[in-house]
Amino acid sequence: MKNDEKTESSSSKWLIKITLTVFFAALTAAGAYIAFLIGPIPISMQNLFILLSGLVLGPVMGSASVCVYLLAAILNFPVLAMGAGGIAHFTGPAGGYFVGFLLGAFTAGFIAGKPKAGADAETSKKRIAIAEVAGLLVSYVPGLIWFKIRMNFGWAETFMSGFVPFIIGDTLKGIAAVFLASRLRRIVAGFLDE
C-alpha cells in the first residue's frame, strides 16, 4: 500500500511540474502580446516571464519552460512579440535574443537555485536580484551578437539599437521579477521537491 501511495505522490508531483513548466511558457507567450515596436526589435514583457521561469522553477524546469515557448514559436503559433510566429523569425534581427532567452532562464535559475521547502531554505532577495541581473545580461549576449551580424551594424550602433532602448524597461521588469520570484518560490517549493 505504501508503494502505491509513493507512486501516486510521485505521479502527482510530475504532473504539477509539467503544469508549472507549461504555465510559465504560457505566461511568456501572453507577455509577448504586451509589446511596443520601436525599431527592428520590439519591447515586450517576454523577458520578465522568461527570467521568472528560471528564478521560480530553477535552471532545468525554467529552461524547459523556455524550450516549450520557443518550440511553439517554431511551430508557427503566434507567441512571439506582436503576435508573430514561425521559424523565419529566428533568422531575423531578434533571432539571437531567442537563444538568449534560454541562456538567461538557465543562468537566473542556476544562481538562484531550485526552491526548497522549509523555512530555513528561503533564498535571499539579494541572491535573487543577482540571479535576475546575471540572467538578463547573459540573455543580451547572443542577442547583440546576432543583431550586429544581421543588421551589419558597428558595435556602437548595435548597443544604441539593441541594448539602450531596453535598459529602463528591463530595470523595472527586473525589480518586479525579484519581488514576484521571492513570493512565488515559497509557493512552489513544496511541489518541486523530489
pLDDT for 1 equals: 46
Cα angle 48, 67, 69 (rounded to 5 degrees) comes to 60
Q: What fold, for 2-192?
A: Arp2/3 complex 21 kDa subunit ARPC3 (1.10.1760)
Question: What's the CA gap between 79 and 137, in Å, rounded?
Answer: 23
pLDDT at 63: 97
- Where would I find the beta strands (DSSP E) of 102-177? none
Flag residues of the chain having pLDDT under 50: 1, 120
3-state secondary structure at position 47: helix
Cα→Cα distances 138→90, 98, 107, 120, Å: 18, 12, 7, 30
Q: How many CB atoms lie within 10 A of CB 26?
A: 16
Helix residue ranges per DSSP H, 33-124: 46-57, 59-74, 95-112
- Residues 29 and 69: beta-carbon distance below 8 Å: yes
Identify the pLDDT of residue 117: 74
* pLDDT at residue 7, as a whole number: 61
Q: What is the pLDDT, as a whole number, of residue 122?
A: 67
Cell digits of residue 130: 543577482
Separation between Cα atoms, residue 190 and residue 194, nearest integer Å: 9
How far apart CA 3 and CA 83 sit, in angstroms, is 47
| pLDDT at 31 (0 to 100) | 94
